[in-house]
Amino acid sequence: MIAAPVPLSLPDKPSVAVLPFTNMSADPEQEFFADGIAEDVITALSRYPSLFVIARNSSFTYKGRAVDVKQIGRELGVRYVLEGSLRKSGNRIRVTAQLVEAETGKHVWAERYDRDLADIFAVQDEITEAVTIAVAPAIADAELQRAVRKPPGSLDGWSAYQRGLWHLEKATPGDNTLAQKFFQRAVDLDPNFADGYCGLAVAQMRAVAYFQTRGPADIQSSAEPLARQAVALDGHNAVARAWLSYALYMRGDPQGAVAEADRALALSPNLALGYWRRATALIFSGRQQEGLADLQTSLTLDPRDANLAPC
């Protein structure tokens, strides 16, 4: 008897497998289009430092197979599975995508995209961008809810960081103080956890800029070094670079802030926060039109993110 495969342990970060999209149309040529969307989504999600994304070669082993998402979660060691389908009718295509929590089978997010098939590559890029921009925040929200349900005494570094984010989003002086405590706990539990340092830097900057519970000198003495530590630990962390940009802006270095935001956007071209932080620096360095354009891009990429505005 062949033993069942041992389930893989989950990474500290939220993990996701993007399955090959199913071609539901009668046109076999659409198979390449469906595969292309899934491959591009894998590539785009891999740019998010907060996500652990399974490589294409592993997730595509499930192509053409009817496999339960719970089994996929166990075999690949992932918490989330993104699956989708494509259907073509005349010159129109419909792409559906859904994000499922593998352990429970619960749907986290789902969307449908209807497009005219004028330029197949342009449509592929458009759908890839739309899916990626929607999936990353959906996973982030699901992770927040998971962390909130955990007893405080059982929090590991990642969960403590998520609990800090939960308090940070409350946007009150008391919650901001609690956020700093949870972020500090995250870095105490894992001194190499870049996101923990970044979160602590953000909470301290908000204490200065939004709540006035800390003084401006704290930016240079504490918040900026924390943001630099996050970048030093993970130079590919676009979010950390975006917040370092804001720390530079807050201490009166808009040119340095623009340069750091440029680096963030080079790493993650769809990062709404990167455009927002660059916009702030551009506007206050006299480049209003460029800054306003970045603000518009930021709002287009993430129109519902209330966390952009406070800082």
Contacts of 107 (CB under 8 A, 6+ apart): 98, 99, 100, 101
DSSP one-letter string for 207-262? HHHTS-SS-THHIIIIIHHHHHHHHHH-TT-HHHHHHHHHHHHHTT-HHHHHHHHH
Which tokens in the block code for residue 290? 């460029």
**pLDDT digit string (tens) for 148-159?**
777 666 678 888
- What is the number of other CB atoms lying within 10 angstroms of the CB of residue 7? 12
CB 218 within 8 A of CB 205: no
| Statement: residue 4 has pLDDT above 60 | no
Judged by average pLDDT, the poorest of 145-154, 159-168, 252-261 is: 145-154
Confidence (pLDDT) at 211: 85
Mean pLDDT along residues 5-32? 81
- Contact residues for 54 (Cβ-Cβ < 8 A; gap 6+): 15, 16, 17, 18, 42, 76, 78
pTM of the model: 0.70
Residue-range domain boundaries for the chain: 15-147, 153-301
- What's the chain's average pLDDT? 88
Do 7 and 74 meet the contact criterion of CB atoms below 8 Å apart?
A: yes
pLDDT beyond 60 at 1: no
The DSSP bridge pattern shows strands 92-101 and 106-116 to be antiparallel
| CATH code reported for the domain at 153-301 | 1.25.40.10
Supply the CATH classification number for the domain 15-147. Answer: 3.40.50.10610
